[in-house]
């Protein structure tokens, strides 16, 4: 399971153009990740750049920075089409949590930390997913992208609090945290990063054309009763 975000967790200064914090969890079977996902991402990188050292960050692609600055419009469109097809072909289940920071701040006198709250919501749904797939007692790693020593330490403490019973079911969760450096070039983290903003856009501007979202929505966790709302897509408050 790989986790990445879109937006920042600050409640002090909220960007009116993007008042959301989105945390996206990508759940991929290990064998499919090894045999299909990793080779597919690397093949796309070699075909596009001639090597696999480019890290696919949604921000860089959108802003046309770094390795994407040199792409002309035709190359960019071809790359985005291939990337969309890759995500569509990837066998995975997605849990996405969207925190509306403005509403969160207005509703609560002492609002919880958006990142830690979103993580709790996500881990609770992952626990349900594991239960439904007969993996409730399996040791499962959840990989987060590093954000800085202080933030990572606080994240690990919050993670362990949730897994020690600080969740809606008040039970221990068999989940283990791994914080990976951004330079690790993890294919799973890159996929989670690429999906987070399109999910947020689907909430913030639901009528706007969103090609990536049309693919992602088919992969959202539907829970025990085949309902995506509140399961694969949790919007709060």
pLDDT digits (tens, 9 = 90+) for 14-57: 999 999 999 999 999 999 999 999 999 999 999 999 999 999 99
Q: What is the pLDDT of residue 182?
A: 77
Residue with tokens 């969740």: 167
Domain ranges of the chain: 2-236
Which residue from 171, 165, 168 is spatially nearest to 124, judged by alpha carbons?
Answer: 168
pLDDT per residue over 95-126, tens digit each?
Answer: 999 999 999 999 999 999 999 999 999 999 99
pLDDT per residue over 192-227, tens digit each?
Answer: 999 999 999 999 999 999 999 999 999 999 999 999
Specify the pTM.
0.94
Q: Residues 212, 181, 144, 97: is their CA dihedral positive or negative?
A: negative
**What confidence tier does 178 reach under pLDDT thresholds 50, 70, 90?**
very high
- Reported CATH class of domain 2-236: alpha beta
- Which residues, in sequence order, are bridge partners of residue 4? 24
Q: Does the pLDDT value for residue 237 go beyond 80? A: yes
Helix (H) or strand (E) holding 233: strand 233-236
Question: Tokens at residue 50, please?
Answer: 């001639």
The burial class, CB within 10 Å (0-12 / 13-18 / 19+), for 155 is: buried
């Amino acid at each position: 399971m790989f986790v990445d975000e879109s937006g920042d967790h600050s409640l002090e200064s909220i960007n009116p153009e993007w008042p959301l914090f989105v945390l996206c969890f990508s759940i991929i079977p290990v064998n499919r990740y090894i045999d299909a996902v990793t080779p597919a991402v690397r093949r796309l990188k070699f075909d596009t750049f001639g090597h696999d050292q480019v890290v696919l960050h949604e921000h860089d692609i959108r802003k046309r920075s770094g390795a994407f600055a040199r792409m002309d419009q035709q190359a960019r469109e071809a790359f985005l089409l291939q990337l969309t097809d890759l995500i569509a072909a990837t066998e995975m289940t997605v849990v996405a949590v969207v925190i509306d920071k403005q509403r969160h701040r207005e509703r609560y006198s002492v609002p919880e930390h958006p990142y830690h709250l979103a993580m709790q919501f996500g881990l609770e749904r992952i626990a349900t997913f594991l239960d439904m797939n007969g993996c409730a007692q399996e040791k499962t790693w959840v990989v987060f992208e590093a954000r800085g020593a202080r933030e990572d330490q606080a994240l690990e403490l919050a993670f362990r609090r949730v897994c020690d019973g600080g969740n809606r079911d008040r039970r221990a969760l068999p989940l283990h945290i791994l914080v990976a450096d951004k330079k690790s070039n993890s294919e799973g983290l890159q996929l989670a990063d690429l999906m987070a903003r399109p999910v947020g856009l689907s909430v913030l501007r639901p009528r706007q054309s969103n090609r990536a979202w049309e693919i992602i929505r088919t992969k959202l966790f539907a829970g025990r009763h085949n309902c995506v709302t509140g399961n694969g897509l949790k919007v709060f408050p």
